[in-house]
Amino acid sequence: EAGVTQSPTHLIKTRGQQATLRCSPISGHTSVYWYQQALGLGLQFLLWYDEGEERNRGNFPPRFSGRQFPNYSSELNVNALELEDSALYLCASSLVGRNEQFFGPGTRLTVL
Amino acid sequence: DAKTTQPNSMESNEEEPVHLPCNHSTISGTDYIHWYRQLPSQGPEYVIHGLTSNVNNRMASLAIAEDRKSSTLILHRATLRDAAVYYCIARGNQGGKLIFGQGTELSVKP
């Protein structure tokens, strides 16, 4: 069974640009989560989508947004990139209401 | 979700058992204790979770104190592949976000 996949693996952008990160959950999983892992800040929760709806949002500005498609894949958009947005962005999926979250390998975003 | 406290780092020798402690003194009666680990250059990986009773799976054992204010993740025979950051999380059982603390960085010596 395929795990959570994320694309691209690496992304390099400049300040002010927009970045789009993609995630495909494990087949049958309807919940998708996004986390940011910046150097020195640890893993921080960004967004949770389930059945196409945003269920919860972490303490991040509105320029971090996303969506979940009918096939449960998800997209994270970061507008007006800032240097501090450089981080590893991790996507996880789970069956709704279940404890275990399964993480993808992440997208390394570098903002120059 | 209850706050958890873990040591920053621990060392172990290969083939020996490892006991990773976690304090969660403000845990509520319905919060589960979850453990994840993150190997270098990878996303976190689910290890185990439990509520009151001790739990075992093929990766590890989870020992939960009777008052539930602390727990211990037990790796029965550490291997080099177990070197990772281990995160203890206390939260409800209805899904939703995970709140990661700083975790314990485990190093395993050959």
Q: How far apart are CA A48 and CA A87, in angstroms?
A: 18
Model pLDDT, residue A39: 87
Q: From first to last of the 110 residues of chain B, give the pLDDT tens digit.
A: 788 999 999 999 999 999 999 999 988 888 999 999 999 889 999 999 999 989 999 999 999 999 999 999 999 999 999 999 999 999 876 668 888 989 999 999 99
Span A12-42, pLDDT tens digits: 999 999 999 999 999 999 999 999 999 878 8
Which residues have CB under 8 Å from A92's CB, separation 6+? A4, A32, A33, A35, A101, A102, A103, A104, B43, B44, B98
Evaluate whether A106 touches A37 at the Cβ level (below 8 Å): yes
- Residue of chain B whose Cα is closest to the Cα of A47: B97
**Which residues, in sequence order, are bridge partners of residue B106?**
B10, B84
Contact B46 A102 (CB under 8 A): yes
ω into residue B44 within 30 of 0, thus cis?
Answer: no
Q: Is B44 on the interface with A (CB under 8 A)?
A: yes
The reported pLDDT for the residue numbered A1 is 67
Residue of A nearest to B85 (CA): A42
Nearest CB among B34, B44, B98 relative to A45 is that of B98
